[in-house]
Amino acid sequence: MIIMGVDPGLTRCGVGVIEAGVTRRLSFIHVDVVRSDPKLSQDLRLLAIYNGLVEKIERFAPDMVSIERVFAQENRNTVLGTAQAAGLAMLAAAQRGIPVALHTPTEAKLAITGNGKAEKIQVERMVARVLGLNTLPQPADAADALSVAICHALRPQGALQGGEREQHLTPAQRRWAEASQQATRRHGARRDM
């Protein structure tokens, strides 16, 4: 399965492409950053990001697009630009019939390092290690895109089917599955209130 990870951003939108084998062996394919010029108007910047994402999707023909979920930040303009870029990635995938998954930064950190609060450098080192890279992926947006693709590939829900699944999970995947289940229960409880 080819998975394209996207770390959405309006100035720099990270794109990482990996292959997840049947045995959950992960292979590096591509990493890059789609850029837009901050001097351009918002509409032209969004067009540049969209066109760059479409080019990557058409070039690598992913089976799945995994996008880092937008989370609240203090800078409203950053959140809006990030959300718009995430929407463009979803649109580009949906237009081609490619399924989309959203993962929070905490989920990605937990899946890769076993620690949902891992520092950026820890995530970068684990991304390089998991994919067998000789150097850390740069810039940070590129590493984040690879991490969200790896996160999707390692997600416990899809790792194996039936009763076999639990016995084949790594310790990090077990912790991630437990944390995800707790978060889902908390989210559902809030929705019921």
| Residues annotated as part of the active site | 7, 68, 141
7 labelled ligand-binding: yes
φ, ψ for residue 180, nearest 5 deg: -65, -40
Sheet containing strand 12-20, edge to edge, reads 26-35, 12-20, 2-7, 64-68, 100-103
* Integer Rg of the chain from CA: 16
Of 6, 10, 35, give the one whose Cα is nearest residue 18.
6
58 labelled ligand-binding: no
Q: Which pair of tokens denotes residue 95?
A: 């237009």
Residues in the chain: 193
Q: What is the distance between the alpha carbons of residues 9 and 124, in angstroms, rounded to a whole number? A: 18
Chain mean position to CA 81: 17
- What type of residue sits at position 174? R
Mark the binding-site residues, compressed into ranges: 7, 68, 141
Mark the binding-site residues for Mg(2+), compressed into ranges: 7, 68, 141
